Amino acid sequence: MKDKNGKSLNSLIALMERLRGPRGCPWDREQTLKSLTPFIIEEAYEVVSAIDSGSTASIQEELGDLLFQIIFACQIAKEEGRFDIAGVMDGTVEKMVRRHPHVFGDKKASTSEEVLKHWAEIKKEEKKSSEKKQYLSDVPEAMPALLRAQKVSQKAAKAGFDWKEIDEVLNKLKEETDEFKKALRDKDAAGMEEELGDMLFTIVNVGRFVDVNPEDALRKTIGKFMSRFHYVEKIITQKGGDLSSAPMEEMERLWEESKLRKKE
């Protein structure tokens, strides 16, 4: 697994063993699988951010950081006698070969849709041989809420629990919005939280019906908001003003200006 520079996966594993060793890094030695969780999530999101940026150097760097977290977790598991990186890779190879019978077996799949159908059937068979669980219980709780909502609604839809048309979902969104407005009028804090959650979950289903990933859509909107806000901040600062004391009318004018600049 050597690259053109002569470096290898083994060198990264050896580095991790050194960091976790008796004469290694005190911080690295203290870590557990649980304590690594936020770092793994953070690095995964930084990979996504780098991909969105289109920067080859950033993508390479962030993938390296994510790989380091994987090696880190495998080293901890190895020390605990649970598994090691070799076991992880062997298991993944076996699973991917098993789930691609159209490549490694005698199944036929000429379209992506057929591939996904085979994939779902194979996963269903795999589940039969594992511990019996409730239908939706294997959707990870640690997933970001929007992504988890999408996975849950997708699984429920595969079981036949779904709307037939997008208009039915939009009607449901109106219903949930009306219920939120009622909770707002009643000043019902618990009700507002519940109905806001229902609205968000329904919006996720709207996205599912039109093949829009809500996590991606929201992430892009956040990026767009930040870009426009930073434009407002820059212009106000250049004029010698202060963002916190700038009139709302001025901020709104600059906001609209930032939108027009993007369209040029």
Domain positions in the chain are 9-97, 99-128, 145-212, 216-263
Judge if 9-97 and 145-212 fold alike in CATH terms: yes
Q: What is the pLDDT of residue 130?
A: 59
Q: What is the pLDDT of residue 6?
A: 41
Q: What is the pLDDT of residue 106?
A: 86
How far apart are alpha carbons 128 and 125 in whole angstroms? Answer: 5
End-to-end CA distance of the chain: 47
Q: What is the pLDDT of residue 109?
A: 85
How far apart are alpha carbons 12 and 33 in whole angstroms? Answer: 18
Q: Which residues of 217-252 are buried (b: 16+ CB within 10 A; e: fewer)?
A: eebeeeeeeeebeebbbebbeeeeeeeeebeeeebe
Nearest to 123 by CA among 89, 151, 85, 82: 151
Angle at which helix 33-53 crosses helix 56-79, to 10 degrees, equals 170
Positions of the chain with pLDDT lower than 70, given as ranges: 1-7, 128-132, 262-264
pTM over cut 0.75: no
Nearest to 17 by CA among 31, 28, 32, 5: 28
Q: What is the pLDDT of residue 131?
A: 58
DSSP letters for 99-148 = T-HHHHSS----SHHHHHHHHHHHHHHHHHTS----TTTTS-TTS-HHHH
The CATH superfamily assigned to 9-97 is MazG-like (1.10.287.1080)
Q: What is the pLDDT of residue 264?
A: 47
Fold category of 145-212 in CATH: Helix Hairpins (1.10.287)
Nearest to 41 by CA among 20, 68, 67, 66: 66
